[in-house]
Amino acid sequence: MYQDQIIIDGLQYCRWDRDYFMILQQSGISAIHVTLVYHEDARQTLTRFGQWNRLFEQNADLIVPVYNAQDIRAAKANGKVGVFFGAQNCSPIDDEIDLIEVMRNQGLLIMQLTYNNQSLLATGCYEQCDNGITRFGKQVIQEMNRVGMVIDMSHSAERSTLEAIEYSSRPICISHANPTFAHDALRNKSTEVLQALAQSGGLIGFSLYPFHLPNGSQCKLTDFCEMVAKTADLIGVNHLAIGSDLCLNQPQSVLEWMRNGRWSKAMDYGEGSSSNSGWPDALPWFAPQNGMRNIYHGLLEYGFSQAETQQIIGKNWLNFLETSLIKQQ
Amino acid sequence: MYQDQIIIDGLQYCRWDRDYFMILQQSGISAIHVTLVYHEDARQTLTRFGQWNRLFEQNADLIVPVYNAQDIRAAKANGKVGVFFGAQNCSPIDDEIDLIEVMRNQGLLIMQLTYNNQSLLATGCYEQCDNGITRFGKQVIQEMNRVGMVIDMSHSAERSTLEAIEYSSRPICISHANPTFAHDALRNKSTEVLQALAQSGGLIGFSLYPFHLPNGSQCKLTDFCEMVAKTADLIGVNHLAIGSDLCLNQPQSVLEWMRNGRWSKAMDYGEGSSSNSGWPDALPWFAPQNGMRNIYHGLLEYGFSQAETQQIIGKNWLNFLETSLIKQQ
């Protein structure tokens, strides 16, 4: 039964308020990977942690912070929604190697090495050229491995992603992206990347963001399940999960912050365009109340076994976090 | 006569104190390009400006801030040493395009797009691969062009430097480096770069840092003048100047800060090595009291004309700054 399962959404950036936490709780989600920051630097990241501490204090009946896999099981057992944090960019560490452990101790469990642009560590998927992992980046990967902070390459370019997989001594994740064979987009991942990811024990969370899907907002649940099935044929079901990239109730200004940060004077439209600059239309079958439930049933109907469906809907994330978050000595 | 000339040293990072300012004044130098920061971020850069404001206040009889070419002429006329500021990295703007004008208004006249590593803007000369100017970097070049902040590619990699020259609508400088034909080092510049620099009206300041010179600390004044002459044959004398890279009276900890910033857990030795980790031995003919004077006479003796020598020893820098610092509308 759906309600007995560990359900994990491997990326959301919604407007976080009590109403939304109630919806999350009712949806049966056990834990979500919350994007804490997009472009915020170290100092601003502390403010985001502070804001979330306040949310935890005010909504202790609904949500609970997650620092390890056991916290997710406890959240599930207590009927609460576990929240674990990730950064979509490496901006929280500024240019300082020692801030990795500081941020990890604060509760930053996952960090992308780049957002769409070149970072100090690696190349983002929107740059024209990709020179792979930088000198600083190599040290950061080693340090993230040491302290048990998960490397996420969702918004990184091809070569950088392959090198991150190669240089990392621990499996990495692509928390929210889809295969390019399903939809060819700069943000999606090549078959070569998916195979290297799986061979190293990594995880990909399928995105529900329309710009990443075949037929965009018209993508049907069966189309989505077909994409999952083809990926399972390619790399096996052990590496598949969900990272919906759900961004609900956010104003246009948040979308513009995600796309432009502080770096652009001209308006950058990201995956959109000047004539299509807003949030894409939501998928009717992926509303927050029942989106994960619909995927669960959709996968079963498509032909996945009970065990496989449970893996994809949450257990793979749980297993991945179980080992990835342990600090090495 | 030497004392009648405009003498400009296009890069120094000495320990700045009253004793050293007196030596500078006695040496006949009209103006120096002072490195304000290596890895300091925006906030820390403000502190450096504050420290310099205090030095200007306490040593007003010796030094004077330079905001334009006229300030250099005035310093010369008043027997003082003009000081203009540059950053060896783009760290003073953090990740924020609008900080370029803010820093320019504060008096940052020159900024390198990278130090030795990959930056948000371009690739440094110590990285294994160079993907050229980034998305953010392209906007930064445009903005630096607009506000009249000089682009400096001294520590940048080959392709990034060629692209900076190409993308910049104004001439750029390489404030302190030598040609690789004189000494093959990652920090020195290829003939292709030198030619592109000159064709676009740019400037190179010859470095007196032993690691950049043929025979290192054993380099003789005539070897130096030969390098200048060969470069003049290649790209003409209009593009040649001095950027000594003099770092006097600085402890080992400053060298380690330059090389390691906050990015490295392992000790990075830069142009040195674990068995040669300190400051290189100074050139006996380039002591601060008489170094520029020795070069002046050395160039004359080598066969440069009076006019050419005056250009190289300061006038080219003055002319370059005359046009480069004007804000575009």
pLDDT, tens digit, 9 for 90 and up, residues A92-139:
999 999 999 999 999 999 999 999 999 999 999 999 999 999 999 999
In sequence order, what are the beta bridge partners of B179?
B189
> A214 vs chain B: nearest CA distance in angstroms?
27
Q: Is the pLDDT of residue A286 over 80?
A: yes
Position B191 scores a pLDDT of 98
Q: Amino acid identity of A326? A: I
> B107 vs chain A: nearest CA distance in angstroms?
21
Nearest-CB residue to A95 (from B132, B134, B263): B263
Alpha carbon dihedral A209, A211, A216, A222, in 10-degree steps, equals -50
Contact A268, B134 (CB under 8 A): no
Nearest-CB residue to A118 (from B120, B128, B264): B120
pLDDT band at B142 (very low <50, low <70, confident <90, very high): very high
In sequence order, what are the beta bridge partners of A89?
none
- A-side interface with B, Cβ within 8 Å? 39, 41, 91, 94-98, 117-120, 123, 126-132, 134-137, 139, 143, 261-266
Whole-angstrom distance, CA of residue A196 vs CA of residue A177: 15
Q: Which of A230, A202, A208 has the alpha carbon at shortest distance from A302?
A: A230
Whole-angstrom distance, CA of residue A273 vs CA of residue A259: 11
Q: Tell me how far CA of residue B36 lies from CA of B39, B162, B163, in angstroms.
A: 10, 25, 25
Position A304 scores a pLDDT of 98
Q: Is the pLDDT of residue A329 over 90?
A: no
Longest dimension (CA), chain B: 52
Count of pairs with CB atoms under 8 A, one residue in A, one in B? 98
Contact A85, A67 (CB under 8 A): no
Q: Is the pLDDT of residue A30 over 90?
A: yes
Q: Which of B114, B153, B169 has the alpha carbon at shortest distance from B326?
A: B169
Which domains are seen in chain A, by residue range?
Answer: 92-241+248-324 (3.20.20.140)
Nearest-CB residue to B97 (from A98, A132, A264): A264
Contact B321, B72 (CB under 8 A): yes
Task: Work out the percent of chain B whose per-residue pLDDT is above 70.
Answer: 100
Position B69 scores a pLDDT of 97
When pLDDT is averaged across residues A278-282 and rounded to a whole number, the result is 92
Q: Tell me how far CA of residue B252 lies from CA of A136, A178, B87, B114, in angstroms.
A: 22, 50, 20, 22
Position A185 scores a pLDDT of 96
Tell me: the pLDDT tens digits for B91-112?
A: 999 999 999 999 999 999 999 9
Mean pLDDT of chain B: 97
Whole-angstrom distance, CA of residue A96 vs CA of residue B63: 34
Q: Which residues lie closer than 8 Å to A73 by C-beta, 6 or more apart?
A: A6, A318
Query: Considering only CB atoms, which chain B residues are within 8 Å of A123?
Result: 131
Q: Amino acid identity of B249? A: N
CB atoms within 10 A of CB B202: 25
Q: Across the interface, do B117 and A120 touch by the CB < 8 Å criterion?
A: yes
Q: Are strands B81-87 and A203-206 parallel, antiparallel or unpaired?
A: unpaired
- Taking phi over 0 as left and psi of -120 to 50 as alpha, with beta for the rest, A324 belongs to alpha
Tell me: the pLDDT tens digits for B291-309?
A: 999 999 999 999 999 999 9
Tell me: the pLDDT tens digits for A70-92?
A: 999 999 999 999 999 999 999 99
Q: Amino acid identity of B296? A: Y
Query: Considering only CB atoms, which chain A residues are within 8 Å of B92?
Result: none
Position A191 scores a pLDDT of 98
Question: Helices (H), strands (E): how many in chain B?
Answer: 12, 9
Position B86 scores a pLDDT of 98
Q: Is the pLDDT of residue A305 over 90?
A: yes
Whole-angstrom distance, CA of residue A62 vs CA of residue A53: 13
Q: Is the pLDDT of residue B329 over 80?
A: no
The residue of chain A nearest to residue B116, with distances taken between CA atoms, is A135
Position A87 scores a pLDDT of 98
Position B85 scores a pLDDT of 98
Tell me: the pLDDT tens digits for B237-296?
A: 999 999 999 999 999 999 999 999 999 999 999 989 999 999 999 999 999 999 999 999
Q: Could you say which DSSP state residue B263 is in?
A: T
Q: Across the interface, do A135 and B98 touch by the CB < 8 Å criterion?
A: no
Tell me: the pLDDT tens digits for A157-181?
A: 999 999 999 999 999 999 999 999 9
Position A199 scores a pLDDT of 98
The pTM for the full model equals 0.94
Mean pLDDT of chain A: 97
The residue of chain B nearest to residue A129, with distances taken between CA atoms, is B131
Whole-angstrom distance, CA of residue A281 vs CA of residue A210: 7
Query: Considering only CB atoms, which chain A residues are within 8 Å of B129?
Result: 131-132
Q: Which of A245, A213, A239, A238 has the alpha carbon at shortest distance from A226?
A: A213
